[in-house]
Amino acid sequence: MKWFRSTDKTNADAAEQIAVTMETTAKPEPAIAVPEDCDKEVLYGVMHINKKLGQFMNEEVIVTQSIHDIGTTYSQINGIQDMISSLDANFNEFRQYAQKIDGVMNQTDTAVQQADDKMGVLSEKLDGTCGQLHSITDAFQVLEQNFKHIMHMSAGITEIASSTNLLALNASIEAARAGDAGRGFAVVAEEIRKLSGSTAQLVSGIDESVNALYRSIDALKDNIRHTTATIQDNYEYAQNVQQDFKEVAECTVEVKNFSQRIITGIESTSSQINNAASGVGSAAALVSSLGSKLEQLNLRLSKRSIIICSITDFLQQIENLLTDSVSRKGSKPKH
């Protein structure tokens, strides 16, 4: 805009010079001696030249206005260049934010991948724990079968003890019938009956212990069932969480791809903006060069205007003299 301000200043100086010249030329000048044979054709020629000079002056005013319009256009081009520069700066800042988002998404992807790996390990451990609990349940079922076998054998021992007790009672009866001869046999029968009673009591204690173990095994089996169900629920939940992590990882990949596309688009747009800014800069340089030449042209036009003003004044004086001459010729009496 520097050369346009200079142009405005030049126009002002030229206008001031034109005004000074017009004031100077407006002063009365010495009368010009015109030959007596000047006629109307010369007067018409002078008037025609004066008219053309007026048209020329109008065209010069239009040229001056055009130069001013070019200055305004150059100012607008500078404004567009500033806007493009600001837009490019904004795109660069936005690209930095997009790159930061891409970095954050990379960190998130890494964290999600680590969490997914840990959830995978946890799922495997929970699955292994469920398998171990199933193995323990199977072992308890085998133990329960063994206890049932023990109960069956205990029932057989109880029957044997009852039969032995019955035989011992019968032997005591027979020994009592034999009198003194069967007294020793009666003592043996009594001992056998006592042994049978002790065996029955022992078997009864074993049955109570086995029943207590049955109850403990049942309670433990219930706890194992509840624990297995809980671990199974946790295992399914861990699998669901792992699936969620996979979906989050997929979303992260999509966001990264989208962010990369944004960065690519920003870089492409920024490159185009730089090319446009370069083009605007070249145009501004051309306009600046043109402005320098127009400044010189404007100065020359201003100087020529001064000269034309002088010529116009001179022609006006000639026109006045010719008019007077024609009038005097017309007023002379004919011989």
In a domain? residue 335:
no
Query: Which tokens belong to 85?
Result: 């520069």
pLDDT band at 25 (very low <50, low <70, confident <90, very high): very low
Torsion angles phi and psi, residue 36, rounded to 5: -70, -20
Write down how long the chain is: 335
pLDDT digits (tens, 9 = 90+) for 188-220: 777 777 777 777 787 778 878 778 877 877 888
In a domain? residue 334:
no
Residue 32 confidence (pLDDT): 41
Q: What angle do CA 21, 25, 29 make, to 5 degrees?
A: 155
Which of 55-64, 76-85, 100-109, 276-285 bottoms out in mean pLDDT, i.e. has the lowest? 276-285
pLDDT digits (tens, 9 = 90+) for 80-123: 767 777 777 777 777 777 777 777 777 777 777 787 787 777 77
* Unique residue bearing structure tokens 């988002």: 101
Q: What Å distances lie between residue 166 and 67, 125, 154, 193, 203, CA to CA? A: 145, 61, 18, 8, 17
Question: Please, what sign has the CA dihedral across residues 318, 320, 326, 328?
Answer: negative
- Of the candidates 79, 5, 15, the one whose C-alpha atom is nearest the C-alpha of residue 292 is 5
Residue 28 confidence (pLDDT): 40
Residue 24 confidence (pLDDT): 45
* Unique residue bearing structure tokens 């946890």: 122
pLDDT band at 181 (very low <50, low <70, confident <90, very high): low
In a domain? residue 291:
yes
Q: What is the pTM of this model?
A: 0.42
Q: What's the CATH number where 225 sits? A: 1.10.287.950
Percent of the chain surpassing pLDDT 90: 0
In a domain? residue 230:
yes
Longest dimension (CA), the chain: 223
Q: Rounded to whole angstroms, how far apart are CA atoms 32 and 46?
A: 15
Residue 287 confidence (pLDDT): 63
Q: Domain count for the chain, please give it.
A: 1
In a domain? residue 26:
no
* pLDDT at position 320 over 60: yes
The contacts of residue 238 (CB under 8 Å, 6+ apart) are 119, 122, 123, 126
Residue 29 confidence (pLDDT): 40
Indicate the residue type of 146. Answer: N
- Whether the CB-CB separation of 158 and 133 falls below 8 Å is answered with no
Residue 109 confidence (pLDDT): 75
* pLDDT at position 157 over 70: yes
Q: Rounded to whole angstroms, how far apart are CA atoms 148 and 210?
A: 9
Torsion angles phi and psi, residue 289, rounded to 5: -65, -40
In a domain? residue 35:
no
pLDDT band at 8 (very low <50, low <70, confident <90, very high): very low
Q: How far is CA 92 from the centre of its chain?
A: 14
The contacts of residue 189 (CB under 8 Å, 6+ apart) are 168, 169, 171, 172, 175
Average pLDDT over residues 162-181: 75
Which of 24-38, 111-125, 131-145, 150-164 bottoms out in mean pLDDT, i.e. has the lowest? 24-38
Average pLDDT, the chain: 71
pLDDT band at 41 (very low <50, low <70, confident <90, very high): low
Instruction: Please name the helix (run of DSSP H) or strand (run of DSSP E) that holds residue 293, with its range, or none.
Output: helix 183-331
In a domain? residue 178:
yes
Residue 333 confidence (pLDDT): 58
Residue 148 confidence (pLDDT): 78
Average pLDDT over residues 162-179: 76
Q: Rounded to whole angstroms, how far apart are CA atoms 222 and 231?
A: 14
Residue 182 confidence (pLDDT): 67
Residue 315 confidence (pLDDT): 73
Residue 177 domain boundaries:
2-19+41-327
The contacts of residue 300 (CB under 8 Å, 6+ apart) are none
* Unique residue bearing structure tokens 């809980």: 230
In a domain? residue 275:
yes
* pLDDT at position 172 over 70: yes
* pLDDT at position 139 over 60: yes
Q: Which is more confident, 26 or 226?
A: 226
Average pLDDT over residues 284-313: 69
pLDDT band at 244 (very low <50, low <70, confident <90, very high): confident
Residue 27 confidence (pLDDT): 41
Q: Rounded to whole angstroms, how far apart are CA atoms 77 and 95?
A: 27
Residue 43 confidence (pLDDT): 65
